[in-house]
Amino acid sequence: MIDPFTSSIALPLIAPSILAADFANLGDDCKAAMDAGADLLHVDIMDGHFVPNLSMGPAVCGACRKACPDTYLDVHLMVTDPQMYFKPFADNGANAISFHIEVVDSENHARELADELRQMGVAPGIVINPPTDVEKILPVINAFDLVLVMSVNPGFGGQAFIPEVLTKAQAISKLLKPTQRLEIDGGIGTKTAPLATNAGIDMLVAGSSIFGQPRDQWAAIIQNLRGPKS
Ligand code: DX5
Ligand code: ZN
C-alpha cells in the first residue's frame, strides 16, 4: 500500500472516484482501476444534507477494502456531521478521511477533528468548496496531511470544472510541506488535469473521466492524467 505523504513519492497521484464506478460490479471496477495504474481510490460519501445527494456508507468502503486489501482508500465526507462517521469508516478500511471546512465551528474544532483522526491511525484531510474563501482554510492547513480543493460544487459526478478554484490551489500550494498533498476533485480529465498540476495540485480525483470510459482505455487515461513527465 502506498503512503501518499512521503516526500519521495512520484507525483501527481491519480485517485479514481468510485462514485462513477459501476456499483453493480464495484469490486471488479476497483481492482481494474488499480490494475490500470491508479495510485489509490477516492470514496465519495454524501449524506443528502450537506449535499443534495446520497452516495454510499461505511459498508461500501468495507467492500472496497475487501476487494482491494492493499489499496489506499481516500474517503471524502460530504456530510454535515463528519465526526459521527470517523470510526465507522476507519473500521471499514479508510486510510485518509477528509471533511469540509464549511461544517466546522472554528479553527480549533478543525484541529481537534484532525487530531481525533490521527489517533485512529487515519490521515486527516480538509476540503474547501468553490465558493468558500481560501482565508477560511489557510489558518488550519498545517494540521492536515491532505488539502482537497473542490473544482465542482459537491454532490454529483460528471460536472463542469470550475477553473477559478485554481487561484486558491496556488495560494495553498505555497504553504504546504513536501509531506502534505494538495488534491483536486471534480471535472478532472485530460484537458483539465494539466491546469490543476500547473497550479500546484499533486493528487487528482477523476470519476467520470475514468469510470465513464471503456475499461480497456483506463490505463491510457490514467497515464495521460499523470502528464508528460511521468
Ligand atoms: C462531487 C464528487 C465528484 C467526483 C468526481 O461531489 O466528489 O467530484 O468525486 O466526479 P467527476 O470526476 O466525474 O467530476
Ligand atoms: Zn470527492
pLDDT along the chain (230 residues), means of 10: 95 98 98 98 98 98 98 98 98 98 97 98 98 98 98 97 98 98 98 98 98 98 89
Residue 221 lies in a domain: yes
Neighbours of ion ligand 2 (CB under 5 A): 44, 76, 185
* H or E element that contains 151: none
Residue 205 in contact with ligand 1 by CB distance below 6 A: yes
Residue 104 lies in a domain: yes
Catalytic residue check, 3: no
CA of 70 to the centre of ligand 2 (A): 20
Please tell me the residue having the least CA distance from ligand 1 atom 8.
186
Q: Which residues span the domain enclosing 67?
A: 13-225
> Can you give the pLDDT at residue 189?
98
* H or E element that contains 87: helix 83-90
Residue 117 lies in a domain: yes
The tally of domains found in the chain comes to 1
Residue 8 lies in a domain: no
Catalytic pick among 29, 47, 74, 185: 185
Q: Which three cell numbers stand for residue 164?
A: 477559478
Residue 154 lies in a domain: yes
Residue 155 in contact with ligand 1 by CB distance below 6 A: yes
Catalytic pick among 44, 47, 74, 145: 44
Catalytic residue check, 70: no
CA-wise closest residue to 100 among 150, 65, 169: 150
**Amino acid letter, 230:** S
Dihedral, CA atoms, 148, 149, 151, 157, nearest 10 degrees? 20
Residue 4 lies in a domain: no
> Can you give the pLDDT at residue 94?
99
Residue 14 in contact with ligand 1 by CB distance below 6 A: no
CATH number at residue 139: 3.20.20.70
The ligand minimizing its distance to the Cα of 17 is 1
Residue 5 lies in a domain: no
> Can you give the pLDDT at residue 230?
59
Residue 20 in contact with ligand 1 by CB distance below 6 A: yes
Residue 122 lies in a domain: yes
